Amino acid sequence: MAMIRRLFAALLIVGSAALLLAAAWPQLFGLQRTTGIAHVVSLRGAAIAVALALIVALLVLALLWRRFRPMGASLAVLLVAFVLVSGLVLASRGVGPGDSIALTERSEGALTVLAWNTLGPATEPADVADVALDVAADVVVLPETRQEDAIDAAVLMREAGHPMWVLTSSYDLVSPARSTSMLVSVDLGEYRFDADERTTSVLPTLVATPVDGEGPTLIAVHAVAPVTGQMENWRSDLELLAELCSGDDIIMAGDFNATIDHFSGLGSWESTSREEDRLTSTARLGECTDAAAAAGAGAVGTWPTLVPGILGAPIDHVLATDEWRVDGVRVIGDRDDVGSDHRPIVAVLERALG
């Protein structure tokens, strides 16, 4: 019996070590988009909190049960290592607001991009307009927003002296989640919705191009969530988004339902010559770099609003190709009571030199 117990303990420790390693850095095994692991890695901050609670529980149990102490100590050491590795990953991506630049103090030619999953009618158009005006947004990406609500927000912005074009892609009108809208400042020129472009499988992604050919391609994203029955669609959505964000002069924003962990293996950085882009190559999707990671805010959660940002999942993003550099990023945390379960994210992008 003693030998069986020792064998069981050894298997439990080895299995726990493998599981914790996969949860801390699934890219090592190519598991970042695998059911279960993909969900754990989405919530690194929450996983650290759970691990700390388990460490305390193991220590208490070890104090009360002498025979458990060797195994409890081994499991606690593994959990401590998991906490340290996961904490280093979060720290490297940044848990602050990003660059210190004021988002409204922009250089000439810079663009301010706002993305906010509104959860349909849970967020009033007036709230959308208020945030967009507050950050002086040139592009507003609104997953789960029907055309009529986007128009109402645009009317309010026009009345405030900031007129916007309204573009919407809808798969149907049954659910607000089946609509994705985008507001584009008239100062950028007229944009058209490219209805022939490939799009995400369950929820619409909108690709807009400038009518006169001058300006970036703008992509409003809504990938399906990695829930039961949608894992294959989720993976194919991310692969498609990587394809869409490959080319020249592209800005992509919205609800990706994925963190930069899930982007791993879908990014290309060989073509970039800028050292800062190589340093953030793990935060690339296609040929686009995640603005939050570049600005030191890549670990700040945008979902759900019920928990602090450090415990949430950073699944809403602004990305851009190498023609753009990041001047500032902010995850807006003072609108959590508005109605949506997502926080808005805003980035200031400036044309890169050279």
User: pLDDT tens digit string along 238-258?
Assistant: 999 999 999 999 999 999 999
CATH class of 111-351: alpha beta
Please give the model's pTM, rounded to 2 decimal places: 0.92
Mean pLDDT of the chain: 90
Instruction: State what percent of residues in the chain have pLDDT above 70.
Output: 92
Report the alpha-carbon distance of residue 139 to residue 165 in Å, rounded: 9
> Mean pLDDT in runs of 10 for the chain (354 residues)?
70 88 94 95 96 94 86 92 96 72 65 97 97 96 98 98 97 94 97 88 96 94 96 97 95 98 84 45 86 93 95 97 93 93 96 76
Residue 215 structure tokens: 């300006």
The domain ranges of the chain are 2-93, 111-351
Q: How many CB atoms lie within 10 A of CB 193?
A: 16
The 8 Å CB, 24+ separation contacts for 165-170 are 165/190, 165/191, 167/191, 167/192, 167/193, 167/206, 167/208, 167/220, 168/193, 168/206, 169/193, 169/195, 169/199, 169/204, 169/205, 169/206, 169/220, 170/146, 170/204
The torsion defined by the Cα of 314, 320, 321 and 327, in degrees rounded to 10, comes to: -100
